[in-house]
Structure 1
Amino acid sequence: RYYFEVEISGAGTYVGLTCKGIDRKGEERNGCISGNNFSWSLHWNGKEFTAWHSDTETPLKASPFRRLGIYVDFLGGILSFYGVEPDAMTLIHKFECKFSEPVYPAFWLSKKENTIRIVDLGVEPEKPMP
């Protein structure tokens, strides 16, 4: 299991996960983090969030958040996105997945002025049990 947070700025910002084997140089649809079976993402378009997986866009009813929490339970097959505020966390969307290979954080900025900042949570990453 792993958890991290990011701060996003700008419409057209994607945050998600991708499998190790994603096509990085081939057809755009197979190399982006929205149009294939081996990536899952949350997109902020400046007005609302949408979830993307397998070329399917799901509109979400969530307040705008600048800080997002991403929780991955690899063995449990769960990827959850949270809106993070100083005193609360709100579930934005949860994917139920069957991860078949290692996954990695993935980001896409559709405009050069957009930003994503990985937040330093000040804690050691969770270590596997011996």
Structure 2
Amino acid sequence: MLSYSTFHHLGVAVFELKITIPYYENAGYSISEIILEPVQRVKVAYAKKEGTPTIELLEPLDTSSPICSILKSKGCGPYHICYAVPNIQIAISDLKKDKFLPLARPVPGHGLNDALTVFLYNKNVGLIQLVEIK
């Protein structure tokens, strides 16, 4: 993939944040405020714990959310890995060479300080997300 990328977070689809969050709190994670992501049609909370990867918990806002199909087919669980990159357009171009398909144009991520973010898919890797961190 991208030698210049760094791990940012693991995305986990959940049915209801209010039911899932206590499990992470009991495991010692601190939970961010819940953020609405209207473009992605999800509610998001970040679970953080010293020395462990950040976990992004995502609940569908409504039945049109892309998370619904994931929950329907697989139930709750991890479904994407996010990588930080210094320039999202260069990263997209580089990943296209490796047969990654961008699923939309980059958009500001509300829970990511409005940094540009984009999802890409490769049948041999799965779904990844990029976030532009300068």
TM bin (shorter chain): under 0.3
Q: Which fold has the larger relative contact order, with Cα–Cα distance below 8 Å and residues 6 or more apart in sequence? A: 1
Structure richer in strand, relative to its length: 1
TM-score, scaled relative to structure 1? 0.25
Structure richer in helix, relative to its length: 2
